[in-house]
Amino acid sequence: MLELTNATAVSRREIPALAADAFRSALGDALRGGARLGALFGREGAAGEAILTAVVNDDGVGASRVVEARVRGGYPSLTSEWPEAQAFERELFEETGVVPEGHPWLKPLRFPPRPGGEGAASIPGAYPYFAVEGEEVHEVAVGPVHAGVIEPGHFRFQCHGERVLHLEIQLGWQHRGVEELLRGGPTKRTLSIVETIAGDTTIGHAIAHCELLEALSGGVAPPRAQALRGVALELERLANHVGDLGALAGDVGFLPSASFLGRLRAEFLNATAEICGSRFGRGLLVPGGVRFDVGSEAAAALAVRVEKAVRSVQAAADLFFDAPSVRGRTDGVGVVAPALAASLGLVGPAARACGLARDVRRDHPSGIYRFAYLPAVLAQHGDVFSRAWIRLLEAERSAAFVAQQLRSLPGGPVRVALGSLAPDRLALSLVEGWRGEICHVALTGADGRFERYDVTDPSVHNWLGLAMALRGEQISDFPLCNKSFNLSYAGHDL
Amino acid sequence: MSLLDILRVRAREGRQTVAYPDGPVKLPERFRGRPTLDASRCPDGCERCAEACPTDAVGPLGAGAGGVGLDLGRCLFCADCVEACPEGAIAFTRDFRLAARTRGALVVQRDEALLAEALGQKLRELFGRSLKLREVCAGGCNGCEAELNACGNIQFDMGRFGIQWVASPRHADGLVLTGPVTENMRDALLRTYEAIPAPKLVIAVGACAISGGPFRGSPAVRDGVGDLLPVDLWLPGCPPHPLTFLDGVLRLLGRVQGGREAEIVRLPQATSESRAAAGALKGR
Ligand code: SF4
């Protein structure tokens, strides 16, 4: 396997191309050695062959490795031994028809519409769900249209009384064809598409994309831009973590914290809007830097504002975490055991809540994170409480980081022009978004354009974690468990 | 923790609801609201804005139509055009009022406010004091959805006007659509609409729902609502600010009328450096 680090590019010619069995065993060795699967995708090769590309991220050594395979028809599945590969191999099968042999459940991932087909075949709902049989077993179906103002997806519960025996999560309703649209780029529209892969993670995906373009063109964003990118990424984390805490408070009916935190979330969105005009950071990132600078006075004022807001968050969150009724609803509910979390390949706060110390900012730092260290926060129990608690601790760390960066912004420009993209390269970019690891992989062709652009939102790793968290739980705890993960449908469906 | 602790935090937090529509609104200085065009500055044959715009929202309107136009239904408010324009003909104002009753009204050619007209008397009587809305996300990225959720929080508090999100379409007076309408959601969208009892309103929120937004042209989406549903109110943005939604719906209900002149804030002119940087990226 060829080694590369985050936010770099390698020549495609140097990537080893293995036979199917060797590919499987090389990946197996890497995963056994503690690396995680970061990306796996296929594309059409010559003469009826398919070419598979896999990237593993080795947190221990702070590097990634890439390997390719030429396969015809199929290859021995990874999922049978490494469940973390399950979604990737389903995607691969759905997109290329290559069969991961021995995959325990090769069900569709996104139901991309078939050419010319308006028929039921391309609609995610028309699908035989897993069913539990038994006299007192019943089934509950929710979605695609949910009760709240949220994205569509389908949850199918197999219940015995109130107890959930099995939850199947079927997605695909949000499929917009993101990766297809990115092929052949970059074009004038590329960045707008990237910013809306998951609209609540605009900064995370935009940084991944821009760092990837910088790696491909040999350009480097100026230090001041890198610091501002870090500020924006942590503000995005703050807004979402605080909003999620508020929503969790709402779900257990603890309304004071729900309303305080729901409002305080806006403080961080508005801080982002002070920098770039958009509460979601749209338009802030550009390849080669950032579009907007922040003057020193404005930066100082913003730092004070963020510090003040996070103090209010702490007060509102203390009420929440101290309330016995909240403890009762969150302690020991929706548990994902550490070993299970590791085998599913969970990322982000959902993984750290199970004691898995993985954080791209620490393990594969790029940009400002090479210079500014953010300690990873861990909890042990893998329950709703841990996932909530992690959110508060991370919010506190992020706020301190933002304030510190804003007070010590490096001088100089915030943007440089990039040259053209190098042809025949593979570039990798990892970012610790607020949900976890964002992974972008681009292959450029002979013309320096994207022959393939592969996006992995952290949600792809984590949705099965939610399904497992529900095993044996009361069905009424579903909204709470769901919120404690708060995964992206659009980011998954692409 | 005691009730006293809760009250203490409540006292510290104070009242947080925005003054709109009765008082002034505070928006960030760089907030990009309604864009304005000054087509008189456009040299003949210049298409720099069109070459830069990610969604082809701005540019010469084509033979016969005359001049340069900007389609707010496609606009992502990204300001790429401002940076590209050598003449400074395009600027963003901080005017958050962006509601229109027809798709056509979203194409602007100069500095003109967008103030949607109210519904007829009959519907106003029905919905004016109580409007229950069912939101359907059909490929939305969670940007629009997040801002719509914010409309219900204590800050924007649309509940003060009797406007509320409801879970069941049977309880709803109207449908709010976000997202470019994916092929996979089309069926669920239509069925939700059918389940809402008449008379019912349809509100299209965001560039995606109006025109497909960044996903326009993808075989997996339908480029927005098109003629799938009869739209009563169009709310551009990516995503529209919660105040844009609130303002649009209140105008539709006849509860806000007229309005102060928009404060025009021009973004800092692009420097030759930033233009070169932008050009190098776009040129490919
Ligand atoms: S209009 Fe923009 S914010 Fe709204 S759903 Fe579409 S991409 Fe997301």
Q: Is residue B147, in this structure, part of any structural domain at all?
A: yes
Going along chain A from its start, the domains and CATH numbers come out as 2-101 (3.30.460.80), 178-493 (1.10.645.10)
Contact A151 B215 (CB under 8 A): no
CB contact under 8 A, B142 and A186: no
Whose alpha carbon is nearest atom 2 of ligand 1?
Answer: B238
**pLDDT given for residue B275 in this prediction:** 52
Residue A358: the pLDDT is 94
Q: Same structural domain for residues B146 and B268?
A: yes
Same domain for B271 and B160: yes
**Whether residue A456 has pLDDT greater than 80:** yes
CA distance B72 to chain A (A): 16
Give the Å distances, CA to CA, from A347 to A151, A358, A361: 21, 7, 12
Q: Which residues of chain B have pLDDT under 50?
A: 261-269, 279-284
pLDDT reported for residue B26: 84
What is the predicted pLDDT for the residue at B284? 32
Chain A hits for B239, Cβ within 8 Å: 199, 280
> Do B131 and B65 share a structural domain?
no
Mean pLDDT of chain A: 93
Q: Are B267 and B134 members of one domain?
A: yes
- Let me know whether B134 and B235 are in one domain: yes
Give domain status of residue B74, yes or no.
Answer: yes
Q: Do B1 and A323 touch (CB under 8 A)?
A: yes
CA angle A97, A99, A104 (to 5 degrees): 130
Residue B247 in any domain: the answer is: yes
Residue A114 banded pLDDT, cuts 50, 70, 90 = low
What is the pLDDT at residue B281?
Answer: 43
Last residue of a domain, one of B61, B79, B95: B95
Residues B229 and B88 in one domain: no
Query: What tokens does A242 get?
Result: 């605080």
Of the candidate ranges A84-93, A442-451, B117-126, the one whose mean pLDDT is the lowest: B117-126
Identify whether the C-beta of residue A467 lies closer than 8 Å to the C-beta of residue A150. Answer: no
Q: What pLDDT does residue B276 have?
A: 54
> What's the whole-number mean pLDDT along residues A438-444?
97
Residue B22 in domain: no
- Of B77, B95, B113, at which residue does a domain stop? B95
Q: How many CB pairs under 8 A join A and B?
A: 225
Q: Does the pLDDT at position A263 exceed 70?
A: yes
Do B174 and B234 reside in the same domain of the chain? Answer: yes
Digit-coded pLDDT (tens) for A465-492: 999 999 999 999 999 999 999 999 999 9
Which among B32, B144, B225 is the best mutation to test ligand 1's pocket, defined by most ligand atoms within 8 Å of the CB?
B144
* Residue A458 pLDDT greater than 50, yes or no: yes
Q: Is the pLDDT of residue A20 over 80?
A: yes
Q: What is the pLDDT of residues A345-403, one digit of tens each?
A: 999 999 999 999 999 999 999 999 999 888 889 998 999 999 999 999 999 999 999 99
Asked if residue B148 and residue B91 are part of one domain, the reply reads: no
pLDDT higher for A94 or A268?
A: A268
Same domain for B262 and B134? yes
Rg of chain B over all Cα atoms, to the nearest angstrom: 20
Q: Rounded to whole angstroms, what are the CA distances from A35 to A22, A151, A431, A439? A: 17, 32, 17, 15
Say yes or no: B128 and B163 in one domain.
yes
HEC secondary structure over chain B:
CCHHHHHHHHHHHCCCCCCCCCCCCCCCCCCCCCEEECHHHCCCCCCHHHHHCCCCCEEECCCCCCCEEEECCCCCCCCHHHHHCCCCCEEECCCCCECECCCHHHEECCCCCECCCCCCHHHHHHHCCCEEEEEEECCCCCHHHHHHHHHCCCCCCHHHHCEEECCCHHHCCEEEEECCCEHHHHHHHHHHHHHCCCCCEEEEEHHHHHHCHHHCCCCCECCCCCCCCCCCEEECCCCCCHHHHHHHHHHHCCCCCCCCCCCCCCCCCCCHHHHHHHHHHHCC
* Ligand 1 centroid from CA A55, angstroms: 30
Last residue of a domain, one of B95, B113, B136: B95
Contact flag B184-A276 (C-beta cutoff 8 Å):
no
Least confident of A119-123, A168-172, A424-428: A119-123
Where in the sequence is the domain holding B90, given as residue range(s)?
Answer: 35-95
CATH classification at residue B219: 3.40.50.12280
Give the percent of chain A with pLDDT over 90.
Answer: 82
Q: Residue B107 domain-assigned?
A: no
Task: Give the pLDDT confidence score for residue A147 in this predicted structure.
Answer: 87
Q: Is B9 domain-assigned?
A: no
Confidence (pLDDT) at B64? 59
How many structural domains comprise chain B? 2
Both B175 and B53 in one domain: the answer is no
Q: What is the pLDDT of residue B63?
A: 58
Residue B49 included in any domain: yes
Confidence of residue A342 (pLDDT cuts 50, 70, 90): very high
DSSP-assigned letter for residue A10: E
Tell whether B68 and B131 lie within a shared domain.
no
Scan residues 91-120 of A and list those with Cβ closer than 8 Å to B: 111-113, 115, 118
CATH code: domain of residue B84:
3.30.70.20
pLDDT, greater one: A138 or A115: A138
Cα–Cα distance, A243 to A253 (Å, whole number): 15
